[in-house]
Chains A and B, each alone.
Chain A
Amino acid sequence: MINLVYNEMVKITGKRRLLVVALIIAILITLFTYAQAQQAADNRERFGDVDWRIALEQRIAGWEARLASGGFRGDDGELELRIAQQRYYLDQDVNPAEPGAPTFVRGFVENGISLLLPLMMMIVAADLVSSEHGAGTIKVLLTRSVRRWRILLSKYLALLLSVSFIITLFGLLAAVISGFVFGYQGWDAPVLTGFSTTGGELDTSGVRIAPQWQFILMELGLAWFVSVVVATITFMLSVLVRTTAAVMGIMLACLIAGTILRTMVSSWETAKYLFMVNLELIDYLEDAAPPIEGMSLGFSMLVLLVWGVIALIVSFVSFTRRDVY
């Protein structure tokens, strides 16, 4: 089995797919790093004469006064955590508006999880099976003594390996490249997490502070899960549809429809069962309201899991039963 997987990895690397993905990610990260550095410089120019420490101290003092006088309309516990969070920046002498590479990575994963990462997965997964049709090698592959499901499984395992590798690459490149510009400080900066929504209202009772490195690890874990599901669905299409271009077209349409739907569907409730509406898992860790009421991390992951499992079953059934001629 491991030889079969190895064989598939040779094919994937031979097509330089991973190299293309790495290049795209590296170029995008460089662009975003540059944009963010420009913005930071712009802010410095505009608010240059204000010392951020004083501004931060004022904000903390304001919050503390709010706590002391009890006029705060929300949850006191959340405010205390926010004060603790801002104090970290003062203690560590880090300007919260100009954070280091870890904060960049956190934001980048958050923004990449719903479109950029799935697109990268698509590049690898789209032609895994369909290209065998295109090149006519499918017959060579299937006339060997290996059972069909093992061939497909080896392809799928190679895909899983590639997905894991791309996530690692994504995190590493983001940290290394942005670190050149922003510096590598802030791995243990506090991040607020544990928000939940009950009845459409943001519930802050479970809010707690996580160090940033843990939050990034959690984010990448979620990104990995999303990527695996998207890759699995692309894999299924690659089995069902014989031209790679069509696979790419269908997946692109789905993913882009997802980004549009997420902003529009709050009234169309059944849309929450579509996989592309459920890709922004990281939002659940933060204080963002879900696109449709009733969605939660557990719900979205379950929907994605069901889609992934069904796609996997369809791929195997179709691949093992189909006549190839």
Chain B
Amino acid sequence: MNGRWIKGLMAISALSGFIWLGGLGWTLQDYFAGAVDTPAAPAPVEEETAPPIPDDGKFRVVALGDSLTRGAGDPDGKGYVGYMTDELKTKAADQDVLVNNYGFDGMRTPELTSSLAKPAVRAELKAADVIVVSIGGNDLFRSGETLGNLDPGYIATIQEAYLNDLDGVLKELRTLNASAELFLIGLYNPFIARENAETTTKIVRDWNYRAAETAADYPDTVLVPTLDLFQLKIQDYLALDQFHPNAEGYKLIGERVASLITWEEESE
């Protein structure tokens, strides 16, 4: 009786031995041959120029920029772009509003420059009625790194680089689309309730001022301030990460931008 049990065990063991040997063989085959039959050549590059988008009477908004545009910190993920759109839709119910959001978390200005080279983005920008851009927060704060180095010389260096890149971005945007209203979202100071608040707020204020000066060189380009919105009751408007706005904070920004958008199309 005991003997049959052990023989059964041996049979199962032998069988599983072959299974695992098979698994090993599959791994080797997959590891060494698998890499070969994936296409070595990169996927065909997108056509160099996307077809132009016809004017179909829709009100087109293109949003570019960092996590604020993306909506990080908002449980619903709408971000200021979402609340701005909500507001626009209630303002003019008969108008089709079309939003293209190209924002992603962590975007810095050089990355914005390179994303402006994408044909699809360029086509959308050319057809846009309104362009909103939130950029600079990551250039300045660098995931909080800058807080450890508030030396004016250092800030001046990154600020110069930023302004230079920003100028390039605005120039490119205006080349693509000379008529759209362009809103540049100013920075707020998420660290206003922490130590060195005076220094950080001064840096942000100065940053916004210089950005506004750069924007002033271009027509219909508006720097929308947000520093004041978050100045007094910061804790009510920040998300759990203590950096991004929460839904309420995004609503404030979205409503402010929406209030600046005028409806010339309607009167036509």
Residues of A within 8 A of B (CB): 5-6, 9-10, 13, 18, 49-50, 54, 57-58, 61-63, 65-66, 68-72, 76-77, 160-165, 167-168, 193-194, 196, 205-206, 208, 210, 214, 217-225, 284-285, 297-298, 301
Complex contacts, B168 vs chain A, CB 8 Å: none
Closest Cβ of chain B to A284, distance in Å, is 7
Inter-subunit contact A65/B103 (CB<8 Å): yes
Inter-subunit contact A221/B23 (CB<8 Å): yes
**New contact pairs (5) apart from A69-B64, A221-B26, CB-CB < 8 Å:** A49-B75, A168-B19, A206-B35, A222-B24, A223-B20
Inter-subunit contact A164/B38 (CB<8 Å): no
Nearest 4 A/B pairs, CB to CB = A221-B23, A164-B17, A221-B24, A224-B20
Q: Does B77 contact A (CB under 8 A)?
A: yes
Q: A71-B112, A168-B12 are in contact. Are A194 and B107 (CB under 8 A)?
A: no
Residues of B within 8 A of A (CB): 3, 6-7, 9-10, 12-14, 16-17, 19-28, 30-32, 34-35, 38, 42-43, 64, 70-71, 75-77, 101-105, 107, 111-112, 114-115, 117-118, 120-121
Residue on A nearest B20 in the bound complex, by CB: A224
Complex contacts, A77 vs chain B, CB 8 Å: 42-43
Inter-subunit contact A65/B6 (CB<8 Å): no
Q: A-side binding surface: helix, strand, loop or mixed?
A: helix
Inter-subunit contact A165/B12 (CB<8 Å): yes
Residue on A nearest B78 in the bound complex, by CB: A58
Inter-subunit contact B34/A208 (CB<8 Å): yes
Cα–Cα distance between A63 and B106 once the two chains are bound (Å): 12
Residue on B nearest A226 in the bound complex, by CB: B24
Inter-subunit contact B77/A61 (CB<8 Å): yes
Inter-subunit contact A220/B23 (CB<8 Å): yes
Inter-subunit contact B16/A168 (CB<8 Å): yes
Inter-subunit contact A165/B13 (CB<8 Å): yes
Q: B-side binding surface: helix, strand, loop or mixed?
A: helix
Inter-subunit contact B20/A50 (CB<8 Å): no
Inter-subunit contact A161/B17 (CB<8 Å): yes
Q: A68-B121, A69-B115, A193-B30 are in contact. Are A9 and B10 (CB under 8 A)?
A: yes
Complex contacts, B26 vs chain A, CB 8 Å: 214, 217-218, 221
Complex contacts, B17 vs chain A, CB 8 Å: 160-161, 163-164, 224
Inter-subunit contact A5/B102 (CB<8 Å): no
Inter-subunit contact B21/A6 (CB<8 Å): no
Q: A58-B71, A71-B107, A224-B21 are in contact. Are A284 and B101 (CB under 8 A)?
A: no
Inter-subunit contact A69/B27 (CB<8 Å): no
Inter-subunit contact A66/B104 (CB<8 Å): yes
Cα–Cα distance between A67 and B83 once the two chains are bound (Å): 24
Complex contacts, A193 vs chain B, CB 8 Å: 30
Q: Can you offer 28 A-B residue contacts whose CB atoms are under 8 A?
A: A6-B3, A9-B9, A10-B6, A13-B6, A18-B9, A50-B75, A62-B105, A65-B104, A70-B118, A70-B121, A71-B104, A71-B115, A72-B104, A160-B17, A162-B13, A163-B17, A164-B17, A208-B34, A210-B30, A218-B26, A219-B23, A221-B27, A222-B24, A222-B27, A224-B24, A225-B24, A297-B27, A297-B31
